[in-house]
Amino acid sequence: MAYSEYLAERVRQRLMNCNVTDEKKMMGGLIFMVNQKMCIGIDKDKTSQKDRLMVRVGKIPYDELLRKKGSREMDFTGKAMRGFLFIDPEGLDSDEDLDFWISKALEFNEIL
């Protein structure tokens, strides 16, 4: 499996009352679609083999959120995708940290 089912379940619990329209296996992981838009994803870093979260936060808060613990640019192809962040384990292991990132992704999802 290319992603942690434990992390997937933690995300599912937090999205239970949101309009999750689909879960799609893509890009080697699992993407949660909210209101039919890509919102949050999970996979394993191919280099470290550690779980990570992908959050779609938009371009406006991007630079500020990039400075948060465990946050880094999302760069599948070697080029950063502004508006999307990878969150490494140190930024998502605690419930408070995971809640923070999911709230940021949901805030942007509402704007779309």
Q: Where are the beta strands (DSSP E) in the chain?
A: 20-26, 29-34, 37-44, 51-56, 71-73, 84-87
pLDDT of residue 33: 97
Q: What pairing do the DSSP bridges indicate for beta strands 51-56 and 71-73?
A: unpaired
Q: Which range, of 38-42, 45-49, 56-60, 76-80, averages the lowest pLDDT?
A: 76-80
8 A C-beta contact, residue 51 and residue 100 = no
Phi, psi of 44 (to 5 degrees): -115, 135
Only one residue has tokens 């999302």, namely: 74
d(CA 10, CA 63): 26
- pLDDT at 1 > cutoff 60: no
For the chain, give every domain's residue range.
9-39+56-111
The pTM assigned to this predicted structure is 0.93
For the beta carbon of residue 40, count every other beta carbon within 10 angstroms.
Answer: 25
pLDDT of residue 107: 96
